[in-house]
Structure formats: structure tokens, C-alpha cells
Amino acid sequence: MKFLRSLRLGLLAMLVLGLAPAASNAGEFYYLLIFGSEDDPKHLRNAHTWAVFVRAVGEGTDQAGYQVTAHTLSWYPASKVVRLWSPCPEPGVNLTLEQTLETVLGLNENVRLWGPFQIQAPLYNRSVAVYNEVASGRAQYRAISALRDLYITDCIHVVAAVDPVFGRGHYPLIRIGQPASRYMARQVMMRSLEKGVDQAANDNSWLIPALGLIRYPITIVPPSAITAEPCGLCKQEE
């Protein structure tokens, strides 16, 4: 897969590839957590969107005992300095979940988490392909993605690269930070319902301690609190 030919994307992949909360094999489950951060008052250079994809393997009702592996799509300048209006691409780095939280909290950004959502194996597998692509070193970072060179990308469009259907135009940069993440979360809810799946009916909160997130000051927005309706700029909090 060539990473940014596959930046025909958007988190709506789950819509196409199936969001139904079901395991591909007995005892094997997949999840998505969407994050957004920004400072207050908001400065665009201090706003970030990222996502975590989880594979859990286990049997029985005690999910706390499941074996959990996770990877993060969190595209950031390697310098850790976001140059908002710079026309020049620069080396990027895909941060781990812990590195991301340490970075944004160090900038006094407020962090919100939408989910966890249960997804199916095809979406998870696509996220692995995108993860491997950004780890290859071919992509570069720029705070505003390039229109023609899809290897020059921002944080939002790396997450959106999981979707094989929609292009960058579906995720314009009128929404940055938490609004961009909120938009993605609402799309998950809406498209899940279209497939007859109510994400709000599933309690996947066991993943919060399993991923070590209880150590951080994060506002968690569970599926039961997410409106399954479209939003424009998506600035209104849940």
C-alpha cells in the first residue's frame, strides 16, 4: 500500500469496512479510541488529533484479563515544535500514546477521549498498514497538508488515512484539535447506527485502565454521551 494514495481517507473507513462490534475470530476483538487536545485559550499550534487502535484477545466476561496490544497514529514534527504557517515540510515522527500525552500535557493542552468504540478486523488491519507506512520514514510533517504531494501531511490526515474511500477534502482543516476529533467520533456513531449497531450499548471502559490512561488528566466522552448527528465546526462540547 502506498501511504498516500491511501490518503483517500477519513475515519469513515469504519463505516465502509464495518463497525459492528463483533470479533473476527472467537476471543479476538478490536477497538478504536479517538483523542483530541488543545490549550485554552486555543492556539492552533497547540492542537492535536490522534487515534489508538487496540487488539484484545481473551475468553469469558472478565475483559480485564484479556491480552491487549495497541498502536497509535499520532503524527507530529520530530522537532516537537509546530510551525503553523511554514511552507516547508520537515521530518515527522509517529509518537506513542505515552509520548503524545506527555507532549500535549507539557504544553498545557486539555485532552479529550472519545470512545472506546468496537470495530472489526479490516479497519484494524488497515490501521496497521498506515502505522507501518509512517514508520518507514517516507512521509514528512507539515501543519497544513500539501494538496498534491500526499507524503506531506498533518496529524489529522494521518489518522484519516485509515479510510480507503474519502479524500482529504472530507476532513478540511476548518476543524483542528478537538473539533476534528469530535467530528470523527460523531461519524462513527452515525454510520454505526446506519448499520444497525448502537455503539452506546457497549461498555468498553475496561480499556481505559488497561491502556494506563487513568494516570492522566483526560476528559473521557463515552459513546453514550456522543451525539449521533452531524456537526459543522464541531466546537460545542458534549
pTM comes to 0.88
Q: Which residues of 167-187 are buried (b: 16+ CB within 10 A; e: fewer)?
A: ebebbeeebbbbbbbbbbbbb
pLDDT at site 110: 98
Using CA atoms, how far residue 199 sits from 10, 22, 29, 88, 238, in Å, is: 19, 11, 14, 41, 16
> What is the residue-level pLDDT of the chain in tens, covering all 238 positions?
444 444 444 444 443 344 544 444 458 999 999 999 999 999 999 999 999 999 999 988 888 889 999 999 999 999 999 999 999 999 999 999 999 999 999 999 999 999 999 998 988 999 999 999 999 999 999 998 876 677 899 999 999 888 766 656 677 778 899 999 999 999 888 888 888 889 999 899 999 999 999 999 999 999 999 999 988 889 888 8
With the CA atoms of 94, 219, 184 and 210 taken in that order, what torsion angle do they form, in degrees rounded to the nearest 10?
60
pLDDT at site 178: 96
pLDDT at site 192: 85
pLDDT at site 165: 60
Pairwise CA distance, residues 167 & 26, whole Å: 34
pLDDT at site 135: 92
Task: Determine contact, residues 184/52, Cβ cutoff 8 Å.
Answer: no
Residue type, 58: G
pLDDT at site 169: 65
Domain ranges (residues) in the chain? 13-225
pLDDT at site 166: 62
